[in-house]
Amino acid sequence: MKKLTKAEEEIMQIIWKLGRCTVSDIRQYMEVELQLTKPPHSTVSTVVRTLEEKGILAHKAYGRTYEYFPTMTKHDYSRQTLKKFVSDYFDGSMKRLVSFMVEEQNLSLNELSDLLDTLEEE
């Protein structure tokens, strides 16, 4: 899987929420739900086409209207991204990642305990 840019990830977050959608649906969501200035249609369309080229989206055409849908779930994308992150920064060791989080105080004892319980269950 090719790495996504920040803009591509932001658009994918919206698509995962909306499911099947058009560029206009994405723009509307950004304006209404996220309270952002509605971006130009061409900008969102370019990002969506790039996501399709990267294989994370596909489309179905209805005349001149394209309906886009994800080809990868958010869960699968998160898993692949986390694996790459752990590989790149922690030599592939989840233990090193958890140790880092504890050392940096980004993980409380309760959170650590919950994480260990979850890992034991799986």
- Domain boundaries, given as residue ranges, for the chain: 6-70, 90-122
Q: What is the CATH number of domain 6-70?
A: 1.10.10.10
Q: Is the pTM of this model over 0.85?
A: no
Question: What is the C-alpha to C-alpha distance for residues 22 and 5, in angstroms, rounded to an integer?
Answer: 20
Question: Tens digit of pLDDT for each residue in 93-118?
Answer: 888 887 887 787 767 778 878 877 77
Residues in the chain: 122
Q: 69 pairs with which residues across the strands?
A: 58
Question: What is the C-alpha to C-alpha distance for residues 53 and 47, in angstroms, rounded to an integer?
Answer: 10
User: What are the backbone dihedrals phi and psi of residue 102, each rounded to the nearest 5 degrees, phi first?
Assistant: -65, -45
20 — pLDDT class (breaks 50, 70, 90): very high
